[in-house]
A and B are shown apart, each in its own frame.
Chain A
Amino acid sequence: MSGTKGLNRQQMADRVAREFQDGWIVNLGVGIPTLCSNTDIGDRDITYHSENGVIGYGAVAAEGHEDLNLVNAGGQNVTLKPGAAVVHHADSFGVIRGGHIDATVMGAYQVAMTGDFANWKLKGQKGGGIGGAMDLAACAKRVFIILEHVTRDGSSRLVTACDLPVTARGVVTLIATNYGLFETTKTGFLLREIAPGLTVEEIRAVTGGILTVTDGLRQIEGGG
Chain B
Amino acid sequence: MMTQKSKLRSSFAEAVADIPDGSTIAFGGFAMPGTPFNLIKALMEQGAKRLTLVGNTTGGAQQPRMPDIGMLVENGQVAKVICAFTAATRPTDVLPFTKYYESGEVDAELVPQGTLAERMRAAGAGIPAFYTPTAVGTELAEGRETRVIDGREYLLEYALKLDYAFIRARTADTVGNLRFHRSQRNFGPVMATAARVTIVEIDDPIVAAGSIDPDDVHTAGIYVHRLVQIPPAPLGLWPAKRMTRGQETKR
Contacts and interface: CB of A to CB of B under 8 A. Distances in A.
Contacts of A54: 182-183
Contacts of B242: 71, 75-77
Greatest chain B CB density within 10 A among A37, A69, A87 is at: A69
Nearest to A80: B182
Interface in A112-139: 121-122, 125-135, 138-139
Contacts of B241: 66, 68, 77
Given A127-B101, A134-B138, A76 B247 contact: yes
B11 interface: no
Contacts of A50: 183
A169 interface: yes
Contacts of A75: 31-32, 62, 242
B31 to A, nearest CB: 4
Contact of A139 (B33, B120, B134, B182): B134
B77 interface: no
Contacts of B244: 76
A173 to B, nearest CB: 17
Contacts of A9: 248
Contacts of B42: none
A129 B134 contact: no
Contact of B30 (A51, A59, A96, A121): A51
Contacts of A30: 89
10 contacts: A37-B249, A69-B32, A69-B181, A69-B182, A71-B242, A77-B242, A88-B190, A93-B114, A126-B101, A134-B138
Given A75-B31, A86-B180, A168-B137, 18 more contacts: A37-B251, A50-B183, A60-B251, A66-B241, A68-B239, A69-B170, A76-B249, A77-B242, A86-B185, A93-B117, A97-B118, A97-B133, A126-B86, A126-B87, A130-B113, A131-B113, A132-B114, A135-B114
Interface of B: 30-34, 56, 62, 84-89, 91, 98, 101-102, 108, 110-115, 117-118, 120-121, 132-140, 170, 180-190, 218, 238-242, 244, 247-251
Q: Which 10 A-B pairs have the closest CB atoms?
A: A93-B114, A127-B86, A135-B114, A75-B31, A70-B182, A90-B121, A169-B137, A134-B112, A52-B30, A89-B117
